[in-house]
């Protein structure tokens, strides 16, 4: 059984009734195996889960690491607002990163949102962490975050017996409104996080092995890599709140400690006041993803100063980024954008494939749904280039703001009716919304490059915001599936 199957079994064992997700690496396959329903963005995905929880249904939200930034607002509020039935946010960190614009460590959302965050190291413990997450979430009436990575999802383990978690049907309690926001925050610190702290100290997810005077404290998948190295190991089940008493006893009982975690020195930064601590901050381990060989090398150098490793920065050429597909219907758009002399804000999605030669047709890309807002800030008229899923995700809000604030920009929407980069999930058709909002022109593709360029130039000559919807069928798509 791999991590993906373990998560599916946990969701069945907990009878999770409402499951939402937003596609993206590394969680698309996981979310689809969990039969999650797609949402336009992560904030809406969490809001649906909160509504389900408030009315007595267990819920699950599956997002990638940068998706945490989108759902952060209701997540932070839910910590002190309270919920009803169990709610777990299952977040996949893209280490590398392999399919994201940013490498990010979601564990920082534990202390930021003041919510428990569990970081299992194996498929079996992912199953256990999800069940513990639902139990804790219902006991404390707060969401719980569980973090996974691609290697954890792919890792194998023996068959896991099913462990049903009886449904409570617990609903949101209206007496929460008797306290102010300040009062709820005081209660959160005094009571709720104090209980979470005890849960972290006594969790069966904690793993301790004592061998000799050197110890490793490891979080998540690196704890699996750190097993069997002939030194002590403490793998806490919770990354937040940390089991402080357990950690203190472990550190006190050893001469030196290596902290193995990825991608950032999250635990190490909390422990670094102790001179016994070694890890990424001290240069004993590299930043980012870890290998077992990194841990072995660090143990060999633990007493001394680590060798300074030469820094090489991964280039796009070395990585071999995927370009625009040869038969892509939007190639004429990318070519035309390279010819018109205005700044272009791109978006996550297939338009990001056109940022490099031969097209080089977008200047900046600040994330999914960002292009309309970014182009609104350009010095002079510019173009916002986005796919139809990016438009639905959060791009539409940028366009509404552009209309409201009378910004001078042209939005070019690549309408292929799917989120092509994440597996051809259906994208909503917002044509009628666009037509109601601002001047909208449709262009069917494929078309001659001259015709496409002329259409873009005509729209650029218009004052104020407008949109050109380029309609094409993704040639990689066959009835919703990749060729
Ligand atoms: S996946 Fe489809 S939309 Fe994206 S570049 Fe390839 S053909 Fe074009």
Which position has the token pair 């709140």? 241
Pocket probe for ligand 1: among 322, 323, 328, the residue whose CB has the most ligand atoms within 8 Å is: 328
Q: Could you report the per-residue pLDDT of 415-457, keeping only the tens digit for each?
A: 999 999 899 999 999 999 999 999 999 999 999 999 999 999 9
89-110 pLDDT tens trace: 999 999 999 889 999 999 999 9
Distance (Å) from CA 318 to ligand 1 centroid: 22
Ligand 1 lined by 415 (C-beta under 6 Å)? no
Which residue puts its alpha carbon closest to atom 2 of ligand 1?
A: 474
Q: Of all atoms in ligand 1, which is nearest to the CA of residue 325?
A: 6
Which residues have C-beta within 8 Å of that of residue 232, sequence separation ≥ 6?
A: 208, 209, 210, 211, 212, 214, 215, 216, 250, 253, 254
pLDDT confidence band for 316 (50 / 70 / 90): confident
**Tokens coding 276:** 């016994």
| Domains of the chain in sequence order | 3-202 (3.40.50.970), 207-300 (3.40.50.920), 331-482 (3.40.50.970)
Place of tokens 């035309």: 336
Q: How many helices (H) and strands (E) does the chain have?
A: 20, 21
- Beta strands per DSSP E along 189-249: 207-209, 214-218, 232-235, 238-240
Peptide bond into 26 cis (omega under 30): yes
Report which secondary-structure segment, H or E, holds 144: strand 144-149
Q: How far apart are CA 226 and CA 229, in angstroms?
A: 6
* Residue among 475, 481, 482 whose CB has most ligand 1 atoms within 8 A, to mutate: 475
Q: Whose CA is nearest to atom 8 of ligand 1?
A: 328
- Of the candidates 49, 85, 92, which has an alpha carbon nearest to the alpha carbon of residue 172? 85
Residue nearest to atom 6 of ligand 1 (CA): 325
Q: Atom 4 (ligand 1): residue with closest C-alpha?
A: 350
Cα–ligand 1 centroid distance for 326 (angstroms): 9
* Average pLDDT rounded to a whole number, residues 474-483: 63
For the entire predicted model, the pTM comes to 0.95
Q: Which two tokens stand for residue 180?
A: 């102010």
Angle between helices 42-54 and 67-81 (to 10 degrees): 30
Q: Is the CB of 474 under 6 A from ligand 1?
A: yes
Distance of alpha carbon 98 from alpha carbon 95, whole angstroms: 7
Ligand 1 center–CA 340 separation, angstroms: 22
Cβ 56 vs Cβ 172: under 8 Å: no
Between CA 437 and CA 6 the distance in angstroms is 45
Q: Are 102 and 93 in contact (CB under 8 A)?
A: no
Nearest ligand 1 atom to the CA of 472 is 3
pLDDT number for residue 403: 98
Q: What are phi and psi of 217, to 5 degrees?
A: -105, 120
The length of the chain, given as a count of residues? 483
CA gap 324, 281 in Å, rounded: 39
In sequence order, the β-bridge partners of residue 468 are 412, 441
CB contact set of 436 (below 8 Å; sequence gap of 6+): none
For residue 157, is pLDDT > 90? no
CB of 350 closer than 6 A to ligand 1? yes
Q: Is the CB of 359 under 6 A from ligand 1?
A: no
Distance 424 CA to ligand 1 centre (A): 10
Percent of the chain predicted with pLDDT > 70: 99
User: 389: Cβ below 6 Å to ligand 1?
Assistant: no
CA of 479 to the centre of ligand 1 (A): 14
DSSP string, 373-394: HHHHTSSS-EEEEEEHHHIIII
Distance CA 95, CA 102 (A): 9
For the stretch 161-214, pLDDT in tens is 899 999 999 999 998 899 999 999 999 999 999 999 999 999 999 999 999 999
pLDDT per residue as tens digits for the range 275-284? 999 999 999 9
The CB of 476 under 6 Å from ligand 1? The reply is yes
């Amino acid at each position: 059984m791999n991590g993906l199957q373990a998560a599916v079994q946990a969701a069945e064992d907990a009878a999770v009734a409402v499951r939402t997700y937003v596609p993206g690496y590394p969680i698309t396959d996981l979310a689809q195996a969990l039969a999650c329903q797609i949402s336009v963005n992560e904030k809406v995905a969490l809001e649906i889960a909160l509504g389900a929880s408030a009315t007595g249904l267990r819920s699950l939200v599956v997002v990638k690491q940068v998706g945490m930034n989108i759902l952060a607002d209701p997540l932070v509020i839910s910590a002190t607002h309270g919920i009803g039935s169990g709610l777990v946010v299952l977040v996949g960190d893209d280490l590398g990163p392999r399919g994201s614009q940013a490498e990010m460590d979601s564990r920082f959302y534990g202390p930021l949102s003041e919510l428990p965050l569990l970081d299992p190291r194996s498929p079996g413990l992912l199953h256990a962490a999800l069940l513990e997450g639902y139990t804790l979430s219902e006991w404390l009436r707060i969401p719980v975050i569980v973090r996974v990575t691609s290697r954890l999802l792919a890792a194998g383990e023996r068959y896991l017996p099913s462990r049903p978690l009886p449904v409570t049907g617990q609903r949101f309690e209206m007496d929460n409104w008797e306290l102010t926001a300040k009062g709820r925050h005081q209660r959160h610190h005094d009571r709720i996080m104090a209980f979470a702290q005890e849960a972290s100290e006594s969790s069966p997810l904690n793993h301790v092995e004592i061998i000799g005077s050197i110890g490793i404290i490891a979080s998540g998948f690196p704890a699996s890599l750190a097993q069997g190295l002939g030194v002590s190991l403490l793998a806490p089940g919770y990354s937040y709140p940390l089991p402080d008493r357990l950690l203190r006893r472990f550190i006190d009982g050893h001469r030196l400690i290596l902290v193995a975690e990825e991608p950032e020195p999250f635990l190490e930064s909390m422990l670094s006041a102790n001179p016994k601590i070694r890890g990424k901050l001290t240069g004993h381990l590299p930043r980012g993803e870890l290998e077992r060989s990194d841990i072995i090398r660090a143990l060999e150098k633990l007493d001394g100063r680590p060798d300074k490793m030469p820094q090489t920065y991964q280039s796009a050429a070395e990585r071999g980024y995927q370009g625009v597909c040869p038969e892509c219907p939007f190639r004429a758009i990318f070519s035309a954008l390279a010819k018109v002399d205005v700044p272009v804000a791109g978006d996550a999605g297939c338009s990001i494939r056109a940022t490099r030669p031969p097209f080089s047709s977008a200047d900046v890309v600040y994330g999914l749904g960002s292009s309309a807002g970014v182009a609104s800030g350009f010095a002079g008229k510019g173009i916002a280039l986005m796919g139809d899923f990016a438009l639905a995700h959060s791009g539409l809000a940028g366009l509404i703001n552009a209309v409201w604030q009378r910004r001078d920009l042209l939005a070019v929407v690549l309408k292929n009716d799917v989120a092509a980069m994440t597996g051809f999930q259906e994208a909503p058709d917002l044509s009628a919304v666009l037509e109601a909002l601002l001047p909208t022109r449709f262009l069917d593709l494929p078309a001659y490059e001259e015709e496409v360029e002329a259409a873009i130039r005509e729209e650029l000559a218009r004052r104020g915001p407008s949109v050109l919807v380029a309609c094409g069928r993704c040639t990689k798509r066959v009835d919703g599936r990749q060729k």
